[in-house]
Structures are given as structure tokens and as C-alpha cells.
Structure 1
Amino acid sequence: MKPIRLILIPASVDDPAPWLILGEDGQVRERGVLTPEGGAAAPASLRTVAIAPGAETTLRWVDLPAGSPAQLRAAAAWTMRETVAAAPDRLAVAVGPAAPSGEPRLVAVVSRALLQAWIEHLEALGVRADVILPDVLTVPEPEEAEALNAVAFGDGLALRGRRFAATVQPDLADLVAAGRSVVPIEDPAAVEGALAAAARFPPLNLLDAVEPGRRAGGGWRRAAALAAAAAVSPLILVLAAALRDDLAARSIETRTRAQVLQRAPELAGADDPAAALSLKARTAPPPGGVSAAAAALYGAVERVEGAELDILVAEPGEGVKATISHPAYADMEAIRADMTRAGMAVTVTGTLDDAGRVVSDITIGAL
């Protein structure tokens, strides 16, 4: 295996792009940064692997039939049509290597425009990538099924489990983990070793979605037709047949769900994504975490004459909760307005009268 240059694509074009040169044994030989103003030119013998921000890519493991690369991408696009909730001509779909018989295959979906922007940014740095890989796929899978390995990349936290990969805001890690233990990998040598291993044997290449000769356009109808042509799988045949009956209904549903899923693509499997997003906002940690919520709430309560904070608790997956006693019902509107100015949402979950005072139970979340 020839040497590899590994480049981290920065979140902003104004930031430098760190790089490593890996020898044939996978050990780091050189390191540096690239900027549009100049950087070390890579020898032609180097294979270049670029690591992209994982938060911009949707990753799933799905059942796919046998077929050509184009047919597999079309089948994957059709299978994930509701998960991504976007027009197919705006998406780039890449499929991982063949899995053992009966096991699902890794599929990645990313905005075609964003993928092209990454390619052009690398070219501006004087680099032509052979592979573009989401950073979350460099995180090793955990040994335990009920665990998630976590690595921080910039402002995001890359979480990797068994057939699970997503980059999230750190404050949402416990919510996304859904009861699984989150195991942080913080040792720089371990992170670097994981990057090197993924660069040597990438589990997926986003550039497969834009390989020469790939036909563009055609919408979901073309994706469904290619999926059916590839299918020996009854699942794909059923999906292709169902298209004739419900394409119009799905189109309407997709448009209404698109805004919600663009903000929170992980809610694609929910029966009512709008309601699920509302619940998530109420229970997600507020900006700045529990300490910031406590400080803002204490200040808001102090500004209401006669109000008292009785209870303040924080529970993973249930958000920050509090109980406030105050003289009048209108007091909660003043407290809510103060919290809104602090960038936090207050939801009143219960109210009762107690000896001439009002007792309100609230949940504090993100706006």
C-alpha cells in the first residue's frame, strides 16, 4: 500500500486544513497545514484521503439488492427517500463495500452542492482527493453493542456504534445515545490512529457518488426504476410497485416534512416529526447547559416580586425541570419572557393553586 496523505476539511474555508502523511505501515511520517495561500505539494505517488465534517452527511445501514454501482446508488436513494426528504437531483448517494450475505450495507447521503464545494475547496488548496470520508466513519466501532464511541471534531461530537454513525452537538449526545453509554476517545494518539486506520481502509467513499459517467437527474421515478431493475429483492420490487399508487401522496407529505427534517434529520422515523421536534426542543439541554439554565432562571425568578424557586433538576433525556411558586398566574409570562431573551424556551407542564399561591412546573429547553 502506497503512502497516504490525510487531510481534514475545515468547517470554514477561512480555516487551514491540517494534514498527515502516513507511511506504508500506517505510521505518521509528516504533518502540517494547507491554506489557499500555499502548502506543500503532494508527490504524485501519494493517495489522498480527505476527512469531511460528519454532521453534513446522513449515514444508514440498509438492505440492498445485487447490482451495478449505479443501480445500487439508485436503490439506496429510493430506500432513503423519506429519511433525507430532499429532491434526488440535489443529493449525492454513496454505497459502501459489499457486506457478508444477508447483512445491510453502509449508505451515505450528502448534499450534492456541498460535496462539490468540498471538492472545489480541496482543489483551491492544490489537492485532488482520491477519497472523501465523513469524519464519524473514522471513529472505531465499540466492542460492546450497548455503547457509543465518541470523538470531538471541531464543534461536533462524532458518535459511532454498531451500525450507527452520526455527528451531533455535544449537548445532544445523551439524547441521541438513548440509554447507551457514551465512551469518549480523547487521547490524541488514539484519535490519530483511528484516522490513519480509516484512511488506509476507508469504509466508504463519497466521491463514488460523482464518478465519471454517472447519469444525473431523473427524480425519484428514475431512482425507483433503477432500483427495480437491480432487484431480485422482493422488498425493492414492492417499493417500485407502490410508487405507482402513492407517489403524489408522498410528494405532498415530503414537502410538509422537509423543513422539520432539514433541522432534525434524525427524526425521520417519527410518526409525527413536528411533534417529535417540539418534544426534543423541550427536553434538549438549553444553550450553555444546566449551569446556564440555572443562572438564567435564578435571575428571572428574582425579578418577579414574591416568586421563589422551589426545585431545579436535570435528567438525561428529559431536560432541565423546575418548580416555581409565585403570587399570580401572569408571573410565569414575565419569567418566560426573561428566559426567551436568554435564548431558552420555557414550557409549563403543570400548574396548581396552593394556599393562595400559584405553583408552576416547567421544563427548560432550547428555542
Structure 2
Amino acid sequence: MKPTRLILIPALAGEPAPYLVIGAGGYVLERGVLALDAVERPELMRTVAVAPGADVLIRWLDLPPGSAAQQRAAALWGLKDDLAAPADRLSVALGPVPVAGEPRLVAVVSQSLLDAWSDYLAALGVRADALVPDVLTLDEPFEDTLTAVAFGGSIALRGRRFAASVQPDLVDIVAAGRSIEPIDDAAAVERTLVQAALAPAVDLTPARAREKAEGRRGWGRAAALAGAVLVSPLVLMIAGAARDEMTAARAQDQALAEIARVDPELARTPDPVAALRGRVRAAPPPGGVMAATAALFTAVEGVPDAELDMLVVDPEDGMKASVTHPDYSDVRTIDSAMRGAGLTVTETGTEDNAGRVVSDITIGAAR
């Protein structure tokens, strides 16, 4: 058996990538870090890359019989309420074929993220033969518990037919009363990574190739959904650049001298204060996007017959959503609930649609 290299893709593209080289029998032959500026290129060998699980939507679905392409299409249709991106921007990977009557593992990821991960690996001098989300490197527990492992700044949670990577402050919310068993032992985590390298639970790489080869064009028979991100109560995929802006929050009354000290580029703009205010308005809400998303879902669920249609995070425009609800006063109810989490809702547009109200809102910090 030839050696296999396992690489952990970091959350930030400028960071180096830890790796293992695994030999026959699952023994680790080498440990190290691949740097982007390294002069010597890595040795050619089978490579399995582990991607940030927070960027992948993972579900177990009951899919109809059919080819892999038909089942991927059925998975997209079945997840249409959790997706706010056109189908031609998404790639679907399927897990192993289950026994009759059992649901099948499905992983959905943005095409642009697959390209970004491929570009990052190419900059390291390697190419991934398989790509797996970090949370799916963990074994599925037999009991109704969640296994927790820290990967970078996220916590990977693995349960029975459940897998998600979340921010640490959302772990208890996501656990929903289930007991959590953290794996803190580095050797135990390494063993799970070795197993994943030898037999990945799902491979995002061929999904990307299949989608391109089949020339998919949108949802096909399914209705296209507008938006630029993949959204669910547990997972919000946004561009890496937007994630990098999450700490950009500054007081509005900073003096010009302070602006110049912390950001000389802002100081060179025609109106530094206005530029700073614009950046603050576009910055993610307090607690990060994941916390704001959880609060918004809770607030919307508290309004009878209200539905969250779309959620978009943009580094320039901030966090916006579209909500369908029965009464014009519902937005005030949602705003009141959000204020309990230190957030506020601003209504930017409203229209009637077949007897229901559709409101466009912006989520920001409560003042």
C-alpha cells in the first residue's frame, strides 16, 4: 500500500496546512506543516484534504431510487428550503449507498469554495484526490450523544445521522439537550483523521467533477432560489472575505487621529468618518454571523405562520434577510425578540403577496 497524505485546510487561506503521511496499516510515518512560501514542493502521493465543516451543509435524506445524478438532483430539491443559492453554484456529494430503507448521507457545498480550496492546495503544490469535511472524519456515535472536536475556531459535532461544525457559543443550542462528549486527546483525534484518510465518509471532489461534466443548468425542473449563500439553522456558508471582516466594528465617534492610527487607508479617504460608519454598518452583528443566524431563526419561529425566505451576508452590505409573515406588525415582534440577543431589525422594504406580507430586513447591533 502506497502512503497517503492527509492535509487539514485552514479556515484562513494565508495560514499553513498541517499534514500527516500515513503508511500501510494506518501508521503515521510523518507529521508536519505545508507552507505557502515553501521552496521545495511536496512529494507526489495520494492526498486526502480535510475542509472546514462549517462551510458544508450535511444531511441524511430519504432519496428515491435512481442513478447518482438523479439522486443528487433529488437531494437538491429536497433541500430547497435550506438553500438560498442557484443550483449551478452548488455541488452535491453522496455518501455510500445505504441498506434498503435507510437515509443516505448528502453533503452540499458551494462551487466557489471548492475552487478556492483547490487553488489553496495548488499553492501548496498538491492536488486532492479526495476532499472530506472535518466533521465527517469523526465516527458516528452509537448512542444519542454528540462527539465534539475542535478544528480551528469551530467545534465539529457528530451524532446519529447528524454532523455540523458550529461556533463554540452555539454548541449547547445545537446539542438541544443531548450530552456532549469532547475528544481532547490529540492521539485520539489523529486516529480519526487516519481512518478518514484511508476511507473518507464522503468525497466532495468527484461531486465537483460530475457537476461540471453533466453541464448542470440551474434547478432544472425545480424552482430557482435567489441569493448568494447557503443557509440553514446550523450552517451559513459565506465567502472567506466576508468571514475575514467579522471583527470590523469600531465606535462611530472615533477621532480622525484614532482612525489614522488603526487604519491609515481610511484616513486617506475624502470623508474618513463616513467611510468608517459605512464599514461599521456592513460589519457582521455582535457575536458573529452564526449567533445572529440562530437568533433570527428563533425570532421568526416565534411568529405564527412566519417563514424565513432568504438570508444573505455580504462584506459590503452586511446581513440581510427576507421574511414572509401574515401581519404588518410581525416585524416589530421579530425586532423585540432580536433585541434580547443584542441585535436589531430594520425593515427596508415591504410588499403584499397573495394575502401575505413579504418584508426585507437588515440585521445589526442594537443601540
Q: TM-score range by the shorter chain?
A: 0.5 to 0.7
Alignment correspondent of 1:27 = 27
2: distance between equivalents of 1:214 and 1:176? 37
- Show the counterpart of 1:194: 192
Query: What is the Cα deviation at residue 277 of structure 1?
Result: 4.0
Moved more, 97-106 or 154-163: 97-106
Query: 2:299 matched to which residue of 1?
Result: 278
* Equivalent residues of 1:132, 1:205 under 8 A apart: yes
Q: 2:182 aligns with which of 181, 184, 193?
A: 184
CA distance in 2, matches of 1:53, 1:344: 28
Q: 1:121 to 1:172 in 2, by over 3 A?
A: same
The secondary structure found in structure 2 opposite 1:219 is coil
Written as runs of structure 1 = structure 2, the 5 A alignment for 1:1-367 is: 1-38=1-38, 41-44=41-44, 46-144=45-143, 146-211=144-209, 214-221=213-220, 224=221, 247=223, 254-255=225-226, 262=231, 264=233, 276-278=297-299, 344-345=342-343
Letter in 1 for 2:198: R
Query: Which amino acid counterpart does residue 48 of structure 1 have in structure 2?
Result: T
Instruction: Kindly provide the amino acid, as one letter, of the partner of residue 20 in structure 2.
Output: L
Deviates more, 1:209-218 or 1:107-116: 209-218
CA distance in 2: counterparts of 1:274 and 1:344, whole angstroms:
10
How far does residue 263 in structure 1 lie from its aligned partner after superposition?
Answer: 7.5
Q: Secondary structure at the match of 1:209?
A: helix
CA distance in 2, matches of 1:21, 1:40: 17
Contact 2:87 2:219 in 1 (8 A): yes
Paired amino acid for 2:23: G
Give 1:57 deviation, angstroms.
Answer: 0.3
Counterpart secondary structure, 2:98? coil
For structure 1, the 5+ residue unaligned runs are: 225-242, 268-272, 282-335, 347-365
Instruction: Give the structure with higher Rg (CA).
Output: 1
Give distance in 2, aligned partners of 1:59 and 1:101. Answer: 20
Aligned residues of 1:84 and 1:265 also touching (Cα < 8 A):
no
Cα drift, residue 140 of structure 1: 1.6
TM-aligned CA deviation for residue 205 of structure 1: 0.3
Return the alpha-carbon distance in structure 1 between the equivalents of residues 160 and 298 of structure 2.
Answer: 25
Q: Give the alignment's TM-score, normalised by structure 1.
A: 0.63
Provide the identity percentage. 52
CA separation in 2, counterparts of 1:83 and 1:51? 24
Deviation for aligned residue 1:190: 0.3
Q: Aligned partners of 1:279 and 1:81: how far apart in 2? A: 19
Q: Distance in 1 between matches of 2:205 and 2:63?
A: 20
CA distance 1:344–1:259, change in 2 (3 Å)? farther
Asked whether the 8 Å contact 1:76–1:95 carries over to 2, the reply is: no
Change (3 A) 1:260 1:16: closer
CA-to-aligned-CA distance 1:223-271 (integer Å, 9 cap, x gap): x4xxxxxxxxxxxxxxxxxx6xxx4xxx6xx55xx6897374569xxxx
Question: Which amino acid is 1:155 matched to?
Answer: G
**Partner Cα distance (2:18, 2:296) in 1:** 41
If the length of structure 2 is used for normalisation, what is the TM-score?
Answer: 0.63
Show the counterpart of 2:280.
Answer: none
Rounded to whole Å, the distance in 1 between the matches of 2:168 and 2:39 is 32
Letter in 2 for 1:13: A
Q: Is the Cα–Cα contact under 8 Å of residues 260 and 274 in structure 1 kept in the other structure? A: no
Offset of residue 274 of structure 1: 8.6
Cα distance per residue 1:305-354 (max 9 Å; x no partner): xxxxxxxxxxxxxxxxxxxxxxxxxxxxxxx9xxx9xx9459xxxxxxxx
Which position in structure 1 is the counterpart of 2:277? none
SS at 1:6 equivalent = strand
Judged with a 3 Å threshold, the aligned counterparts in structure 2 of structure 1 residues 215 and 52 are, in CA distance, closer, same or farther, namely same
Give the distance between the partners of 1:173 and 1:261, measured in 2 at CA. 20
Please state which structure has a larger fraction of its residues in helix.
1
What is the distance in 1 between the residues matched to 2:73 and 2:57? 16
Deviation at 1:64, TM superposition (A): 1.7
**Aligned-pair CA distance for 1:209:** 1.5
| 2:61 maps to amino acid | V
Please report the RMSD computed on the Cα atoms of aligned residues, expressed in angstroms. Answer: 3.1
Contact 1:70–1:214, Cα closer than 8 Å, also in 2: no
Unaligned runs of 5+ in 2: 237-293, 303-335, 345-364
Cα–Cα, structure 1 residues 275 and 49, in superposed 2: closer, same or farther, change >3 Å?
closer
